[in-house]
Each structure stands twice: as structure tokens, then as C-alpha cells.
Amino acid sequence: MECIKCGKESTKKDRGVSGGRCSACYQAFVSEPTEHGLTDMAIKLAEEELSGHGRIYFSKDSLKYQLQRLFIKRIQWCNIGMSVLLIIAVGLSVMAVLNGGFFVKITLISGALVLVPLVIKANYKKFISQLDVLVDKWISVNPHEKLLTAEKYQASLGGRTPTNLDEMAFKQVLICERSETVALLLSNLFHIHYGCHVLSGQSYPGGVNAEILSRLKQNPSVKVFLLHDYSPAGHAFVRRIKTDAKWFGGQRVEMIDLGLNAHQKKLFNGMTNKQLDRNKKMKETAEIALFSPEVLMKKCGAAIKEGVALDLISTAVDAE
């Protein structure tokens, strides 16, 4: 495995001898390919891609999902491999039934080979389940300058009531279920790029939330966009913003639910969290953080511009 600091290659044995550090520069290794399915360099490259080479803020969850996407790609390749092997095996078994002899042996071998991708897939799924722990360790050892930590959220707040706004009212707002999403959007200047204010359902950012909300309410034709997880909490959030008088309950405003919801499955195909609920029924959820910050910004920006939900955006994402 290559050291991310000095580039020196090391074997598992080398790493064991040097206490999990690079023998040349003492940089600590975080992942072990056999245990985590990833090298440190792969994680670093994922971070670089996520941050647009140091220009875009991202969260811990963004990194987790970025790495998950790597595994999902590999799982997709496993599926393709498995399908090809399966077709070959079926073809060979037909030949074996018709001709026997040599084809029987080949059919048995190919049948056994079909199991290989299945094993690999199972491994990847195990690696995905360990990602939370791996990412926590990674960010404590290698904190990226664009990683949005809790301290940076606080720093981004400012904390004062805005004083320079005169009698300005606001035209549109994107209300997010999670404060982390708001911090991510604000840090990447979503409000500047798309001329849309951003607030969270948890009254974040604290110092300015009330002021911004009051200026939004002054505008009878305000447009309200909602962004949330695909989860019961996400649905409850939408209901709250629509009905709670503290938000827009009782007001006739244009409200557009950007998502996530069940209709947008193609946006997060293969990346949902599946868990059994109390009634032993499979519940599927998806977090908004599964989008990389760049994709989230562009999708939300285009959706706001066109006034439509995320899954209805087409080419507008790439246009200026």
C-alpha cells in the first residue's frame, strides 16, 4: 500500500513491523485493504474528487457515501461478472445435456465460478457496513481542510443578527431537514450562487434564522423549497413546515417539495439503508448526504431555478 504522504510502498508485514506507520515518514495508515477493501490513497483520492481538488466543502457523511459509491460500482461489476458467468454456465449446461462428456466438467467449473462474485459482493457489503468507523478514524488522522466539522459549522454562523439589510424582504428559501445540510450549502455559497436563502427545520443558523424567516414571511409571494431525507422523519419535517404557524402554517405560499421521496428512487438507486422495523417489515431510507456536495448544489440549484422536484431536472444541471 502506498503512503499518502511520501508515496513509499509497504506490505502488510512492513506495516505490522512499523506499528501501522510508514517506515519512511511515520505517517499513520488508517485502512487495511484486506479488512476495509480500500487503501489510504483510495480514500484520499475520493476526498480530492469530493472537494473538487480543495474547492468544495464536504461533510463526514459526504465522504462516507463517496466511498460507498466506490463499493457500489464494484458490486455492480460483480453483478455483471456474475450474470456473464451465469449465462455461460446455462449455455454449457445445455451443451452438457445434449453432448455430455467434456461439457459436464466445464459446466461444473463455471457453476463454481459463479460463486466467486457472490463471495466478493458479500465482502463489499461487509466493508460498507464498516465505513462509519473507518471514516471517523480517517478524519481524526487526516483532517482535510475542506471537511466541514462541528467547529467549522459554528464558525460559519457569525452569531449576530444581520444589521445591513434595511427593509429588504426575501424571495425564496430552501428549508432543509438537517442543519448539516444547511451548513454544507452555506459553506459552499449556495445562497450566493442561486440567490436563495437556506434555513434548517432545526432553526439553524441560530443567530439569523428568525430574522430571515421574518423577512421571508413579509413577502406574500415567497417561494419555499423543501429538502429532506427519504425517511419518516423527512416526511414529518415536510408536514411541520406546511402546518406549523412558526413556519408557514396557515399561510398561502407556494411550497415545492424537492425530495427525497419514494418517487426519486433512481436518484439513490442502490444506496438506501434497509432495516427491519418493529413489525419486522423492511424499511427503506435514504439520506440527503448521499449526494456529493457538488451534485447536491447543482441539482438543488437547477430544481429551484425550474421550480420542480429533484427527479424532474434534466439538462438544466449542466447548463449555466
For binding to another protein (CB under 8 A), which residues are involved?
A: 52-53, 55-56, 152, 155-160, 162, 164-171, 186-189, 191-193, 195, 197, 205, 207-208, 211-212, 218-219, 221, 294, 297-298, 301, 319-320
Q: Which is nearer to another protein, 277 or 320 (CB)?
A: 320
Of the CA atoms within 13 Å of residue 94, those in its CB half-sphere come to 5
Q: What's the alpha-carbon Rg for the chain, to the nearest Å?
A: 25
Which residue, 96 or 302, has its beta carbon nearer to another protein? 302
Compare residues 86 and 157 and give the one whose CB is closer to another protein.
157
Give the shortest CB-245-to-another protein separation in angstroms: 22
**Closer by beta carbon to another protein, 91 or else 207:** 207
Q: How far is the CB of 17 from another protein (least distance, A)?
A: 40
Contacts of 38 (CB under 8 A, 6+ apart): 31, 67, 70, 127, 134
> Strands 197-200, 273-276: parallel, antiparallel or unpaired by DSSP?
unpaired
Backbone angles phi, psi at 243, to 5 degrees: -110, -25
Map grid coordinates 399561510 to a residue: 251
Give the Cα separation of 71 and 51 in Å (integer). 19
Q: CB of 287: closest distance to another protein in angstroms? A: 20
Q: How far is the CB of 131 from another protein (least distance, A)?
A: 25
- The least CB distance from residue 222 to another protein, in Å, is 8
**What H or E segment, with its residue span, contains residue 200?**
strand 197-200
User: Sign of torsion, CA 288 294 298 301?
Assistant: positive
Quick one: DSSP state of residue 309? -
Of the pair 84, 189, the CB lying nearest another protein is at: 189
The whole-angstrom separation of Cα 8 and Cα 317 is: 40
Closer to another protein by CB, 128 or 176: give it: 176
The least distance separating another protein from the CB of residue 206, rounded to whole angstroms, comes to: 11
Cell of 208: 439569523
- Report how far residue 159's alpha carbon sits from residue 46's, in angstroms, rounded to the nearest whole number: 33
